Amino acid sequence: MHIAFIGFGEAARAFVRTLREAEPGLRFSAYDVLLGSADDASMRAAAEAENVELANTPEDAVEEADWVVSAVTAASSFDAARSVAAALRGSRVYLDINSVSAGVKQRTAALIGESGCVYVDMAVMSPVHPRGHRSPVLIAGNLDAALIGRLEELKFDFELVGREPGMAATIKMVRSLFVKGLEAISVQMLMAAERAGCLERVKGSLAESFPQFEWDRFLSYEFERVATHGVRRAAEMRESAVAMEELGFPEGRALAAAIAALQEAVGGLGLKLGKVTDPAQAAKQVSDALSQRE
């Protein structure tokens, strides 16, 4: 079986690693727009380590592939499908794991469907490490028994939530508003409290109101997530904003846009915080960096 990836970033590499464990005979190919950029060397090293054939064009990557997995940034999701649509033929499967709105998934499904391929709206509902393709996913689309059986054989941890593309995406986008929003609120609160010199009092008050949280651990985790992945999370939040608009909540769009702005501002600093253990120190470092950039 040949699986091609459009986009060879963190998610694709994690999927390759665990899929090979599930079925050692699988063949993998990939294309990424960053080939030839400053990331070229590291990408080629990762591909060599995982025995993945890197292609010079997206069409070359998907040639003769049984499955195509689209794993790109939210902003590039539809363009990725458009780049391979002409090279796809019937009986293939297109797994769209990108974090985009239902509307984008539906447009992509219509495009891919013109070739006779099966389109699968797949929403990854947890970090891809350490479980890779075994991470919990929601799927939607017109999947037959054979395809569902193949997903089971490969040990995907999936739940079929509907036959219409976009249903899995909607669940993820609505959930992401909370998850990424909580990260943004935590980071903004922490920086404000540290700058105002009242962080310990604020944490103490929160501990009384919400004793179930280990606050230093929780805040450290939220800070590390935003600092490391904020730019990618911002792109997802912009898609969540579109989803809120599609659902008829313009105020939800404004909320998602504000979350995206905070995520992008912090993530765009490029700070390497590692595994944060002192949230106050992290807050000061990020807050100072934001002030200097302004």
| 147 and 19 share one domain | yes
Q: What is the mean pLDDT of residues 92-105?
A: 97
Pair 256, 224 in one domain? yes
Tokens of 262: 């905070």
Query: Does 96 share its domain with 212?
Result: no
Q: Provide the CATH number for the domain around residue 95.
A: 3.40.50.720
Confidence band for 277, pLDDT divided at 50, 70 and 90:
confident
Compute φ and ψ for 7, nearest 5 degrees: 100, 120
Co-location of 173 and 284 in the same domain: yes
Please check whether residues 123 and 190 belong to one and the same domain. no
My answer on whether 154 and 173 are in the same domain is no
* β strands within 134-280, DSSP E: 136-140, 157-162
Task: Output the average pLDDT for the chain.
Answer: 95
pLDDT at 294 over 70: no
Euclidean distance between CA atoms 123 and 73, whole angstroms: 14
Choose between 32 and 89: higher pLDDT: 32
Residues 101 and 151 in one domain: yes
Residue 21 domain boundaries: 2-165
Domain boundary residue, one of 134, 165, 196: 165
Domain boundary among 147, 165, 183: 165
Shared domain check, 114 and 242: no
For residue 213, the 8-state DSSP code is: S
Q: Are residue 41 and residue 81 in the same domain, yes or no?
A: yes
CATH number for 200: 1.10.1040.10
Mark which of 165, 189, 217 sits at the end of a domain: 165
- Triad 180, 185, 188: Cα angle to 5°: 120
Do 121 and 18 sit in the same domain of this protein? yes
pLDDT at 105: 97
Residues 184-200 pLDDT 10s = 999 999 999 999 999 99
| Same domain membership, residue 267 and residue 248 | yes
Band (89; pLDDT cuts 50, 70, 90): confident
- Domain check: are 43 and 142 in the same one? yes
Can you give the pTM of this predicted structure?
0.90
Tell me the DSSP string of 104-134.
HHHHHHHHHHTTTPEEEEEEE-S-STTTGGG
**The total number of structural domains that make up the chain:** 2
Sequence-ordered list of residues with C-beta below 8 angstroms from that of 150, at least 6 positions apart, any chain: none
pLDDT tens column, 35-44: 999 999 999 9
